[in-house]
Amino acid sequence: MFKTIKEYAGVLIKDSGRYRQALSGNDRAANGDPLWLHLCNRNEVLEINADGPGVHCPWRWTSDLHACNVNANYARRLAQRAFTDWPIRFADKPEQAGSPDVSFIIAHQGTQRLDHVWWTVRSILAQQQVAVECIVVDQTNEPCFGTRLPPAVKNLHRPLPKDLDGWRKSWAFNQGAREAQGSTLVFHDGDIVCPAGYARAVIEGLREHGAASIQRFLFNLNQIATQQIFDSQQWPETMQPECVRQNWEGGTIAIRRDAFFGLGGYDEGFVGWGGEDNEFFDRCKHIGHLTFGHVPFVHLWHAPQSDKFAVNNPNTTIALKSRLQISVPERIDELKKRDFGNRQTPSLPKGYRDTARKVVGVRQDIP
């Protein structure tokens, strides 16, 4: 109780002024950003993009906005302000006809998150001023979507070979990239709803960069709020996020199609949860990676993956750590030699998880 009172007092004294200014006024930062984009924790210092919109927080790990955790009113008002500037819309087919400029690719497995994907793909199809396509690569053994996807979505049922198991997100992403028609690829999680201007912002960001991670805040809805959306089939006019997250490397990333294949695609050695997004993010720095964030997103609640952040998860404790010790050019050269995105089987069937230290490319000297 004392800690809660102490934290609330700290937010009131140290954070209320800057939150009030950012959420109530129309003042802008020197680079033209609305001030809400520049909200961060007191112990964080933002790098401001001098050549365009957005900020980068060099904080190493994903973090929540502390003031929003302490005072839920800040989280609600920040969401309201963010999605006034970046409205979310839904559609069953793309607004722009013709060949897609941007291809969104979602990897999926199982039957637990069909509603999440439904809302996500409809926010993708509602992108404005840009021709888009949406591809869902479904690794479930039996087709699970049926009519649960709009007809405009390209649903690729690509189950695992019978002798393999596990979640193979990288393989699904690579297969989707092989099928994509757009010159820009966006690899997107099936539980993250995006604003209607995201694709347009991606194209702008990739004019001078090979890849773009332009997400600023992720507004996490709790279980009750998410279920209310599913039950009512109505998107809320006002949302109350459980928390506001920043600095996450996964979730959504855009890249030029030619650059993606030049990097060797996603690393199919990652099997199970964790690691593949961070490794790919690291390789993107080789092609000029825009990481100034200015776009807000909404995360729909789901039960957490118990092993993703486990201390004994070999993907993150051994494989990722080991792969990142190999230089980016070496990794690119190795991955390009693999048959990544093969429709029949992953390029590294056993994966790093199962072979741990013995897999080629994972060094033996990691304790």
Instruction: Summarize pLDDT for 108-131 with one digit per residue, the tens.
Output: 999 999 999 999 999 999 999 999
| pLDDT score, position 314 | 82
Total domains, the chain: 1
- 15 phi and psi, to 5 degrees? -115, -25
* Cβ atoms 184, 103 nearer than 8 A: yes
Nearest to 55 by CA among 254, 294, 295: 294
Residue 46 has pLDDT above 70, yes or no: yes
Residue 361 has pLDDT above 60, yes or no: no
pTM assigned to the model: 0.93
Instruction: For residue 236, tell me if it sits in a domain.
Output: no
Domain of 172: which CATH number?
3.90.550.10
* Cβ atoms 125, 150 nearer than 8 A: yes
| pLDDT score, position 306 | 61
Instruction: For residue 17, tell me if it sits in a domain.
Output: no
Angle between helices 328-336 and 276-284 (to 10 degrees): 110
| pLDDT score, position 334 | 97
Q: What is the pLDDT confidence band of residue 355, given thresholds at 50, 70 and 90?
A: low
Mean pLDDT, residues 50-75: 91
Least confident of 36-45, 48-57, 58-67, 347-356: 347-356
Instruction: For residue 266, tell me if it sits in a domain.
Output: yes
Mean pLDDT, residues 246-251: 89
Mean pLDDT, residues 255-281: 96
| pLDDT score, position 282 | 96
Mean pLDDT, residues 63-77: 94
Mean pLDDT, residues 13-17: 85
Instruction: For residue 178, tell me if it sits in a domain.
Output: yes
Residue 182 has pLDDT above 70, yes or no: yes
More confident position, 359 or 170? 170
Instruction: For residue 274, tell me if it sits in a domain.
Output: yes
pLDDT in tens, 118-166: 999 999 999 999 999 999 999 999 999 988 999 999 999 999 999 998 8
Q: What is the pLDDT confidence band of residue 315, given thresholds at 50, 70 and 90?
A: confident
| pLDDT score, position 359 | 41
Domain that includes residue 360, residue range? 91-213+249-367
| pLDDT score, position 308 | 55
Residue 3 has pLDDT above 70, yes or no: no
Instruction: For residue 226, tell me if it sits in a domain.
Output: no
Q: What is the pLDDT confidence band of residue 1, given thresholds at 50, 70 and 90?
A: very low
Instruction: For residue 207, tell me if it sits in a domain.
Output: yes
What's the 3-state SS for 77-90? HHHHHHHHHCCCCC
Instruction: For residue 325, tell me if it sits in a domain.
Output: yes
Residue 279 has pLDDT above 50, yes or no: yes
| pLDDT score, position 357 | 43
Residue 338 has pLDDT above 60, yes or no: yes
Structure tokens at 169: 């997100």
Mean pLDDT, residues 83-92: 98
pLDDT in tens, 89-109: 999 999 988 999 999 999 999
User: What is the DSSP secondary-structure string of 86-153?
Assistant: S-----SS-SS-SS-SEEEEEEE-SSTTHHHHHHHHHHHHT--SS-EEEEEEE--SS---TTSS-TTS
